[in-house]
Amino acid sequence: MNIHATFFDNHQRATVEAAMARIIPSDDTPGAREARTVDFVDRYLSGIDYIYALPDGSGFEQLEGRRAAAWQQRVDLARSKYVAGIAELDRLCLEQHRAQFVHLDEHEQDEMLRRIERAGTPEAERAWRDTPAIAYGGPVEPALQQTNAEADMDFFNLLVTHTRQGFLADPIYGGNRDQLGWQVIGFPGPASLAEVHAGRYNTLDFFADNRVHRGQEDNHDRQA
């Protein structure tokens, strides 16, 4: 297993790392940079060898057949979006500031990211015009049950999504180094995938009452 598998060249990597550092900035707590979210996405784009960790954390699943083909297609699409997206971001930065994204200051970087975000969708554009406060980051519908369809995302949304994933996914995927992301938001995650797999990870300590439901004592077996 090549745990250093990568996709980006040095410039692409630096650009993505800098952009991710604006998406989850470092302040009094660690951000995307410290959690190494760029490692997460670089590994994701390296191919299809790191799509699914084995559930006991002992390695990664080897995909075959139709599943492998679907993932190859998805990764290829994401790669092309990153390559084109980084180039376009630099083009806009050169046009506006005569410098590539990595050479801008944080303020300028935020402004350029907001610009590609607005270019993303007509809804984002409209929301930005109508209510700039909400459009900062784009109005989100909460994902209630379904997963997001990564294939439909443009470069910017992909970048935001992957930053969040790299910050908060299990560390086995290359980001969330030392569980920094979980510590920042206050999630006492399992020590490792193996803990969950073995049934040792239990969240009852975070319940209101880890013994009984209110009222259950008096009428649990009551016949209606």
Residues 80 to 119: which contact another protein by CB under 8 A?
110, 113
Specify whether the CB–CB gap between 40 and 166 falls below 8 A: yes
Cβ 89 to another protein shortest distance, Å: 15
Cβ 143 to another protein shortest distance, Å: 5
Q: How many binding residues for another protein (CB under 8 A)?
A: 83
Q: Which residues contact 181 (CB under 8 A, 6 or more apart)?
A: 30, 35, 167, 168, 175
From 31, 43, 85, 93, residue interacting with another protein (rule: CB under 8 A): 31
Residue number with CB closer to another protein (2 or 73)? 73
Residue with the two structure tokens 């086995």: 172
From 10, 27, 95, 98, residue interacting with another protein (rule: CB under 8 A): 27
From 92, 173, 177, 180, residue interacting with another protein (rule: CB under 8 A): 173
Packed helices 155-168 and 37-44: angle between N→C axes, nearest 10 degrees: 120
Cβ 46 to another protein shortest distance, Å: 15
CB atoms within 10 A of CB 132: 10
Cβ 72 to another protein shortest distance, Å: 10
Strand partners of residue 60:
53
From 1, 95, 107, 209, residue interacting with another protein (rule: CB under 8 A): 209
Give the C-alpha separation, 74 to 161, whole Å.
Answer: 15
Q: Binding of another protein at residue 189 (CB under 8 A)?
A: yes
Strand partners of residue 53:
60
Residue number with CB closer to another protein (98 or 220)? 220
Residue number with CB closer to another protein (74 or 103)? 74
Q: Binding of another protein at residue 168 (CB under 8 A)?
A: yes
Element (H, E) at 165: helix 155-168
Give the C-alpha separation, 135 to 124, whole Å.
Answer: 7
Specify whether the CB–CB gap between 177 and 38 falls below 8 A: no
CB atoms within 10 A of CB 49: 16
Q: Binding of another protein at residue 50 (CB under 8 A)?
A: no
| Choices 4-12, 78-86, 91-99, 141-149; region in contact with another protein by CB under 8 A | 141-149
